[in-house]
Amino acid sequence: MDSGKPSITERFAKAQHAFTFRDFILLPGLTEVDPSEVDIETRVTTDNVIRVPFVSSPMDTVTEDEMAITLARLGGLGVIHRNCSTEEQVEMAKKVKRAESLVIRDVVTAEPGYAVREALALMRKYEISGLPVVKEGKLVGILTGRDVRFANEDDLVGNVMTKKVVTAHDNITLEQARELMHEHRIEKLPLVDESGKLKGLITFKDISLRGKYPNASRDKVGRLLCAAAASPFDEERCMRLDKVVDIIVFDVAHFHNKKVIDAARRLVKKLSANVVIGNIGTRQAALDVVSSIERVNALRAGIGSGSICITTEITKAGAPTLFAVAQAFDALKELGSDIPIWADGGITSPGDVALALAAGSSAVCIGNLFARTRESPGSLVAIGGQYYKAYRGMGSPSAMEKRHAIDRYASPSKGIAEGVEGYVPYKGDLATMVNELSQGLKASMGYMGAKNIREAWTKAQVAWVSELGATETKAHDVILPTRGPT
């Protein structure tokens, strides 16, 4: 009986090709673009632009505050992992937001009645070197390292603080602030209103950092951009993060799930931060998600391509990153939407980044490569005369064990691990890694003839390469001192 529907044999025989990085090369096109002229600035969400298209994965061996601060300073974006208590995650996000700013608004202050001991504890906690002293909101002094150096820990702040404080009005420009601080040889300039109420603080450190990191990713008031991961079922965590971060990443292995979509739909209405939805792997998932959730500020695409993923190995379910990105891009085009897409999982080289962008993504999410750097959490491990850092999947047994102890929303609905844990070779500073990725990406885009990421979506031409051919694309028939015989 012919039902008009394809038979199982036909469905299998005509199945789509779930292509990914190793399947393709980029064909060199007619170019007028020199790599040095290529602009890799990108929209990481509908409301945020960053200077390099690199996002660090929300994994506990990749992104804590140090990675997020350094990556934002280099022009990318860090997503703080959620394998910790809400309290710990919020504290890490606050450190990023406090790392530098034009004007600090949520100033940490002391009161004249505090003991020096309490003030020192605050300075240590927030890693700051001085505290404005306020009484009923009005500035009455400032406590600096110099003031406390010879003080007794039991002394009262009011007795040891500097009472004559140089202040400025809230509307002072950065240049005027710099001059005033230079003139008085001071490091901190409290801003006050007509009634003497403390309105903010400018520090010399922030002014100098601004010059040092001109490409940094910043929010509207000059603080570093910060993202954090959460489950859409964890409303409490999301609401607390919403007060601190710019971007909340709904971090779900398989977002195309009715319950997950419903939870996210409800929660998005309560959040003011930009929201990134993922992970998704198919055209249908992108269509369903974008049409059911009122606000989606970016999509995260790719299931099973991550270097520590064994989802596809175990379950046979997966959507390789390049395929998932292309599917999402085409779906968004059908909807007339230009929501940015993150290509997530499997990035091993600048060429992979270039392919991911060519397939329609605006940024790439990187775990493995960034876990190799000094700024990822954890210390160095020496194995056979080489240094390594630990790197593990968030679905690995040890990561899951930790999460289950503290996050009831991640209770084990699946009784099987979908990630592995191991080591990656240590590669030094993140800045060097980001620079190598950026330079390699610009060279790729030069070959494509694309002077920016938007152009890569239309100008890139790709070709299949056979498995055998792929081996020819690497160095071969030569002994490399760093790699041994190839």
Q: Helix, strand, coil proportions of the chain in percent (round to 5)?
A: 35, 25, 40
Per CB under 6 A, 308 contacts ligand XMP: yes
Nearest-approach distance from CB 279 to ligand XMP, in angstroms:
6
- 232 or 367: CB nearest ligand XMP: 367
Residue from 346, 350, 351, 360 binding ligand XMP (CB under 6 A): 346
Residue from 57, 61, 83, 373 binding ligand XMP (CB under 6 A): 57
Tokens describing residue 262: 């419903």
Select the span of 36-44, 242-250, 264-272, 343-351 touching ligand XMP (CB under 6 A). Answer: 343-351
Residue from 359, 419, 430, 446 binding ligand XMP (CB under 6 A): 419
Nearest-approach distance from CB 324 to ligand XMP, in angstroms:
11
Tokens describing residue 302: 């790719």
Q: Tell me the number of residues near ligand XMP by CB under 6 A.
A: 23
Looking at 11, 105, 266, 408, which residue is catalytic?
408
Nearest-approach distance from CB 43 to ligand XMP, in angstroms:
19
408 is catalytic: yes
Select the span of 36-44, 199-207, 299-307, 426-434 touching ligand XMP (CB under 6 A). Answer: 299-307
Per CB under 6 A, 78 contacts ligand XMP: no
Nearest-approach distance from CB 421 to ligand XMP, in angstroms:
9
Per CB under 6 A, 340 contacts ligand XMP: no
309 is catalytic: yes
- Cα–Cα distances in angstroms (integers) from residue 470 to residues 19, 466, 476, in the given order: 14, 6, 11
7 DSSP assignment: P
**What does the DSSP assignment read for 92-138?**
HHHHHHHS--SSBSS---B-TTSBHHHHHHHHHHHT-SEEEEEETTE
Per CB under 6 A, 56 contacts ligand XMP: no
Looking at 84, 226, 309, 365, which residue is catalytic?
309
Per CB under 6 A, 395 contacts ligand XMP: yes
- 274 or 279: CB nearest ligand XMP: 279
Per CB under 6 A, 418 contacts ligand XMP: yes
Q: Does residue 279 have a cis bond before it (omega within 30 degrees)?
A: yes
CA of residue 61 relative to chain centroid, distance = 13
Residue from 177, 226, 241, 394 binding ligand XMP (CB under 6 A): 394
CA distance 410 to 399: 11
CA of residue 405 relative to chain centroid, distance = 25
CA of residue 105 relative to chain centroid, distance = 23
Nearest-approach distance from CB 16 to ligand XMP, in angstroms:
20
* Cβ pair 86, 114 in contact under 8 A: no
Nearest-approach distance from CB 108 to ligand XMP, in angstroms:
33
Per CB under 6 A, 281 contacts ligand XMP: no
**Cβ-proximal residues to 447 (8 Å cutoff; 6+ apart), any chain:** 26, 28, 29, 31
Select the span of 20-28, 117-125, 349-357, 393-401 touching ligand XMP (CB under 6 A). Answer: 393-401
CA distance 353 to 350: 5
Select the span of 99-107, 215-223, 359-367, 450-458 touching ligand XMP (CB under 6 A). Answer: 359-367
Helix 204-212, helix 174-184: angle, nearest 10: 130
**Strand order from edge to edge, sheet including 421-425:** 381-383, 386-392, 421-425
Residue of closest CB approach to ligand XMP: 419
Residue from 76, 190, 345, 446 binding ligand XMP (CB under 6 A): 345
Nearest-approach distance from CB 433 to ligand XMP, in angstroms:
12
* Near ligand XMP in 363-382, by CB under 6 A: 365-368
- 191 or 366: CB nearest ligand XMP: 366
Per CB under 6 A, 59 contacts ligand XMP: yes
Helical segments of 213-310, H only? 235-242, 258-268, 283-292
Per DSSP, what are the bridge partners of residue 230? 250
Per DSSP, what are the bridge partners of residue 424? 389
Which of 132, 155, 156 lies closest to 143, judged by CA?
Answer: 132
Select the span of 26-34, 100-108, 148-156, 394-402 touching ligand XMP (CB under 6 A). Answer: 394-402
Q: Are strands 461-464 and 24-27 parallel, antiparallel or unpaired?
A: antiparallel
- 406: helix, coil or strand? helix
**Cβ-proximal residues to 263 (8 Å cutoff; 6+ apart), any chain:** 232, 233
Select the span of 145-153, 181-189, 194-202, 339-347 touching ligand XMP (CB under 6 A). Answer: 339-347
Which of 93, 66, 78, 99 lies closest to 222, judged by CA?
Answer: 99
Residues that bind ligand XMP (CB under 6 A): 57, 59, 279, 304, 306-309, 311, 344-347, 365-368, 393-396, 418-419
Query: Catalytic residues, which ones?
Result: 309, 408
